[in-house]
């Protein structure tokens, strides 16, 4: 069943080194300059417990973390994020922009770690009580490009980033499959395009979404958002 929520929920997804953070910041600035209330957040993280889980799951040195444990840690951080941060902000009419969400678990743990998309998706449906983005911006990056971009000037890679290219290739295809299965909820762009071009395309799509939700004209207006029936 859908509930009414005045905000708009946007997720940025893509492989490591895709440039999500840069584009999330650009979008956030552009919307704020139009007078909209915007919350920029990230996963894993976004809450105190989520930030702790983030370092547990991403830092080296915690011994072996098996795939199911890893998937549960990301889902636990996401449950807190959805209930304590994202839902309240959406209810207040805020545009929520998150750097990663459920698709990252489906891609990294489902495809990368081999747990399968179905189980990871249903774990996350449960964790978030079915909260899905209105739009997912997928920045599609070639694994070798991503590695080159993220290690420029910074040689440290976290536990997931340091996996080999075939792991990142499986992730890339999983993201593309998710987008192909629900094209109206996705904007897929090549991460290799220049920053200005990407920012323009993303803003254009979000503005049209805001108009169709009535949020640009009336930020406090009630629109259907965030829940799949
Ligand atoms: P991120 O913060 O996007 O790293 P960066 O900013 O350095 O690109 O994500 C951290 C890592 O966690 C990234 O390698 C992807 C991984 N991850 C998962 O494996 N599953 C998930 O559900 C999430 C949210 C992230």
Question: Which of 11, 21, 40, 43 is the pocket-test mutation for ligand 1 (most atoms within 8 Å of CB)?
Answer: 43
Query: Backbone dihedral region of 23: left (phi > 0), alpha (psi from -120 to 50 degrees) or beta?
Result: alpha
Tens of pLDDT along 62-79?
899 999 999 999 999 999
8-14 and 38-42 strand pairing: unpaired
pLDDT over 90 at 103, yes or no: yes
pLDDT over 50 at 223, yes or no: no
CATH of the domain at 204: 3.40.50.300
**What is the domain range of residue 53?**
8-225
19 is a domain residue = yes
1 is a domain residue = no
2 is a domain residue = no
* Beta strands across the sheet bearing 95-99: 38-42, 95-99, 8-14, 135-140, 186-190
CB distance 227 to ligand 1 below 6 Å: no
Higher-confidence residue: 140 or 150? 140
Token pair, residue 44, equals 């894993």
Q: Is the separation of the CB atoms in 25 and 207 below 8 Å?
A: no
User: How many domains does the chain divide into?
Assistant: 1
pTM of the complete model: 0.91
155 is a domain residue = yes
Q: Is the separation of the CB atoms in 182 and 191 below 8 Å?
A: no
CB distance 72 to ligand 1 below 6 Å: no
135 is a domain residue = yes
Classify residue 78 by burial, with Cβ atoms within 10 Å: 0-12, 13-18, 19+: buried
Q: Which residue(s) pair with 54 in the sheet?
A: none
Would you tell me how many other CB atoms lie within 10 Å of the CB of residue 192? 14
CB distance 76 to ligand 1 below 6 Å: no
Confidence of residue 147 (pLDDT cuts 50, 70, 90): confident
38 is a domain residue = yes
3 is a domain residue = no
pLDDT over 70 at 119, yes or no: yes
């Amino acid at each position: 069943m859908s509930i009414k929520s005045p905000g708009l929920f946007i997720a940025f997804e893509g492989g490591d080194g895709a440039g999500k953070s840069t584009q999330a910041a650009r979008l956030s600035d552009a919307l704020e300059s139009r007078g909209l209330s915007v919350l920029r957040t990230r996963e894993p993280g976004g809450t105190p417990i989520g930030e702790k889980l983030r370092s547990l799951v991403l830092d080296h040195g915690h011994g072996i973390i098996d795939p199911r444990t890893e998937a549960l840690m990301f889902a636990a951080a996401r449950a807190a994020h959805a209930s304590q941060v994202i839902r309240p902000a959406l209810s207040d009419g805020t545009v929520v922009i998150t750097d990663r969400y459920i698709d990252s678990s489906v891609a990294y743990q489902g495809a990368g770690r081999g747990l399968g998309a179905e189980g990871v998706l249903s774990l996350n449906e449960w964790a978030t009580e079915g909260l899905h983005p209105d739009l997912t911006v997928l920045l599609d990056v070639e694994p070798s490009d991503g590695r080159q971009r993220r290690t420029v000037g910074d040689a440290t890679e976290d536990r997931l980033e340091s996996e080999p290219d075939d792991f990142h290739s499986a992730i890339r295809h999983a993201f593309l499959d998710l987008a192909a299965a629900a094209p109206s909820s996705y904007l897929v762009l090549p991460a290799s395009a220049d920053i200005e071009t990407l920012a323009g395309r993303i803003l254009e799509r979000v503005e049209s979404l805001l108009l169709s939700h009535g949020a640009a004209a009336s930020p406090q207006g009630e629109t259907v958002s965030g829940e799949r029936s």
